[in-house]
Structure 1
């Protein structure tokens, strides 16, 4: 019994072709163009960009960069909000085990800035976000929130 299993295994391992059945989806180019024409672009009433970092000067420079990008691409810019920093303090002993009264305090400050972009389409938003994400400085994190415009349902329209 083992001899037969070893023979089958060795012949399967030696064969270079694998028989895999796949179904290729055939799409007519005319149908594909109709599908692309039917789907409208998304509309966003606002995009909120929040970026954080430990260096205030880097955030200020990146804010200037974002404002210049909005100006050159003619994207309407909303409010710019500089939030208060978040302070994190971690006390630690100077020595490993003893001398509890001799401590060090490690502190980090995270500065936060929010920028709002108003009334953009989906393609403009994706291009804009890709560009600013590629040029984000080292040590800066970004969070993006979208507010999308949707048409009213038919039950409410009537």
Structure 2
């Protein structure tokens, strides 16, 4: 019984697994990359939100420094009015309706605009700033892509 288990185990461990990965010639790969142009974005709008105003201001400074160091054209920085959410709750479970608590949250919002960026630069920039986003900050990204006119309009 032990011999059978050892042979099964050794057979399972030494089994070769082959994958079908296509081999690509480096010359063909460069040709494919030359055919596909990089995307162009006229603007990328970053909207980020947090409950703490100081964290939001610090992250804005970080984004501005990243734009300056990577030589990315930065547009306007806009601080939007905060969103206030109030939830009333009773102090006791069942009675004493006039004794209420009010729970309030404020969400501060800022927007930053990045101008005239290629697709590869945009993806690198966004990956870097998303990896370094502080805890409690949410981000929404909007792209405005430049595209050529369709042939029917060009003619």
CA deviation map 1:48-104 (0-9, x unaligned): 000000000110111111111111111111111111000000000001111111000
Aligned residues: 155
C-alpha distance in structure 2 between counterparts of 1:55 and 1:69, whole Å: 21
CA deviation map 1:25-70 (0-9, x unaligned): 4544332221111111110000000000000011011111111111
Provide structure 2 residue ranges, at least 5 long, that are not aligned to the other structure.
Answer: none
C-alpha distance in structure 1 between counterparts of 2:65 and 2:11, whole Å: 66
1:74/1:6 CA distance change after superposition, 3 Å: closer
C-alpha distance in structure 2 between counterparts of 1:2 and 1:148, whole Å: 66
Name the TM-score, length of structure 2 as normaliser: 0.85
1:156/1:57 CA distance change after superposition, 3 Å: same
Q: Tell me how large the CA RMSD over aligned residues is.
A: 3.7
Range that drifts further, 103-112 or 66-75: 66-75
C-alpha distance in structure 2 between counterparts of 1:97 and 1:136, whole Å: 42
| 3-state secondary structure, aligned to 1:58 | helix
1:5/1:76 CA distance change after superposition, 3 Å: closer
Moved over 4 A (4+): 1-13, 17-24
Name the TM-score, length of structure 1 as normaliser: 0.83
